[in-house]
């Protein structure tokens, strides 16, 4: 190390000694709610609490192209390519650190059981666990291997069952897993888990000035996430070697801020959830919706209107989804076919007075019917009728009592080509409450049909 390096190190250590320590991000906040993410429902409708959910991302060994590497005046050497030696291998994960009690009392088995429901064939490997003092709840950061591919996340042993506050694909090579979690007074805490060999992590709230993070365990650090989210950075070091430099997770991309006190968006339908939900389809639909809103790290709220499966193995759902603070909810359809192919449908927003919400189940390889209409009417609907030619209406019965009015209608090739087929809905008093072409109900955000 050169004399200049020694001088710089002394200068910055002296400067750091004059700074007030940052507020303890681990005290003084009540966790807003605890619940199972896959059973989200609207509080005003189903009586469950809106939760404050966490968002996070896997920190790669290189910086995203749209975020410049800050020029940090410090004695640490720049990354020289050795970061891969400390990257997380899902098949041979880092050793567990933290409170061993978090893995006891059946917690780990419960977490694994719930995880398998979400991701069949995937195995959860604990990395760091603690009991978060404000909520008194155990929380675990983990990596998972097998199934559809490596993932990582965080789970809380909530009172209603495991709450997977984070569930994301693992970006490889990942030298640090960094999460923005709820902290003091609605602010975020930055929890970063790296290899046990990591000796220091720094948070750069302005992208240039490093602040030492608080060590919880070997390679595990925490700090209040209170910087400029257009510029803030996270860096990890092994000795004097910087092994990672990347953008800090975006607390505004999730629900770290206090949830909207007015509750869900005004156009969320007060209809009951019908059908049988599949957690995998819901999770895939949520990830699609977050991507469609250019907020891939966010975790949307969802009100499932209907979820079901066809005889040939297609699983699907029709739901309203929104990001925290949104004034209006969007309508989302999502289906996963038996062969694993998926089809998302981002549909037009609906108003509270809508008579029905419709999605299409399509399969270009199916015979003889390539499209099926799933009609989810308002609960007071008494009869659903369909006219393939636009004139001759025929009644369609419900597929089952549990579906409470939901109707599945095969759509012929002629109707698909002409787009003149129509729906007519009656209420229980024998009055027509809706009649129009199907085309108008199949509108997306930018087009119809």
Structure tokens at 345: 């449908």
Strands across the sheet containing 161-169: 97-98, 122-132, 137-146, 151-158, 161-169
Q: For residues 134 and 68, which has the higher predicted lDDT (pLDDT)?
A: 134
**Where residue 85 falls among pLDDT bands split at 50, 70, 90?**
confident
Is there a contact between 246 and 60 (Cβ–Cβ < 8 Å)? yes
Least confident of 102-106, 186-190, 405-409: 186-190
The three-class DSSP label of residue 382 is: strand
What does pTM read for this prediction?
0.47
Neighbours of 2 (CB within 10 A): 8
Assess whether pLDDT exceeds 70 at residue 2: no
The pLDDT of residue 424? 92
The pLDDT of residue 366? 65
| Cα 83–chain centre separation | 28
The pLDDT of residue 72? 35
The pLDDT of residue 348? 85
The pLDDT of residue 257? 36
Q: For residues 258 and 191, which has the higher predicted lDDT (pLDDT)?
A: 191
Q: Which residues pair with 158 in a beta bridge?
A: 161
Residue 302 — φ and ψ, nearest 5°?
-140, 140
303 closest CA partner among 42, 7, 38 = 42
What pLDDT, in 10s, does the model give residues 274-292?
Answer: 888 888 999 999 999 988 8
- Residue ranges per structural domain of the chain: 23-253, 274-442
Assess whether pLDDT exceeds 90 at residue 23: no
Assess whether pLDDT exceeds 90 at residue 77: no
**Where residue 219 falls among pLDDT bands split at 50, 70, 90?**
very high
What pLDDT, in 10s, does the model give residues 304-330?
Answer: 999 999 888 899 999 999 988 788 899
Residue 241 — φ and ψ, nearest 5°?
-90, 120
In whole angstroms, give the CA distance from residue 360 to residue 319.
Answer: 13
The three-class DSSP label of residue 30 is: coil
Question: What is the Cβ-side half-sphere exposure of residue 206, based on CA atoms within 13 angstroms?
Answer: 5
């Amino acid at each position: 190390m050169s004399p200049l390096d020694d001088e710089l190190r002394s200068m910055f250590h002296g400067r750091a000694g004059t700074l007030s320590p940052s507020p303890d991000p681990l005290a003084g906040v009540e966790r807003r709610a605890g619940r199972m993410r896959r059973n989200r429902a609207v509080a005003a409708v189903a009586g469950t609490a809106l939760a404050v959910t966490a968002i996070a991302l896997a920190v790669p060994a290189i910086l995203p192209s749209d975020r410049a590497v800050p020029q940090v005046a410090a004695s640490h050497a720049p990354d020289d390519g050795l970061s891969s030696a400390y990257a997380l291998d899902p098949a041979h994960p880092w050793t567990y650190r933290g409170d061993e009690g978090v893995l006891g009392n059946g917690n780990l088995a419960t977490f694994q059981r719930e995880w398998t429901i979400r991701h069949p064939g995937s195995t959860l490997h604990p990395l760091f666990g603690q009991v978060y003092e404000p909520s008194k709840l155990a929380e675990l950061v983990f990596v998972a291997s097998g199934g559809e591919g490596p993932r990582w996340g965080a789970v809380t042993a909530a009172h209603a069952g495991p709450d997977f506050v984070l569930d994301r694909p693992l970006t490889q090579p990942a030298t640090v897993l960094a999460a923005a979690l709820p902290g003091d007074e609605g602010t975020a805490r930055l929890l970063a888990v790296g290899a046990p060999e990591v000796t220091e992590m720094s948070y750069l709230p302005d992208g240039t000035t490093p602040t030492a993070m608080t060590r919880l365990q070997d390679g595990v650090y925490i700090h209040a996430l209170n910087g400029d989210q257009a510029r803030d950075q996270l860096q990890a070091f092994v000795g004097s070697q910087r092994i990672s430099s990347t953008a800090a997770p975006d607390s505004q991309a999730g629900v770290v801020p206090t949830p909207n006190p007015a509750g869900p968006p005004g156009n969320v339908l007060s209809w009951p959830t019908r059908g049988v939900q599949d957690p995998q389809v819901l999770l895939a639909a949520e990830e699609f919706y977050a991507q469609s809103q250019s907020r891939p790290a966010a975790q949307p709220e969802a009100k499932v209107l209907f979820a079901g499966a066809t005889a040939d193995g297609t699983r699907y759902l029709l739901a309203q989804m929104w990001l925290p603070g949104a004034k209006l909810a969007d309508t989302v359809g999502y289906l996963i076919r038996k062969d694993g192919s998926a089809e998302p449908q981002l549909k037009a927003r609906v108003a509270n007075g809508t008579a029905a919400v419709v999605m299409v189940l399509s399969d270009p390889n199916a015979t003889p019917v390539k499209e099926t209409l799933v009609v989810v009417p308002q609960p007071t609907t008494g009869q659903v009728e369909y006219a393939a030619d636009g004139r001759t209406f025929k009644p369609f019965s419900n597929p089952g009592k549990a579906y409470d009015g939901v109707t599945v209608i095969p759509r012929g090739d002629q109707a698909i080509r002409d787009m003149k087929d129509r729906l007519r809905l009656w209420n229980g008093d024998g009055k027509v409450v809706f009649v129009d072409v199907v085309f108008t109900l199949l509108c997306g955000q930018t087009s119809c049909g």
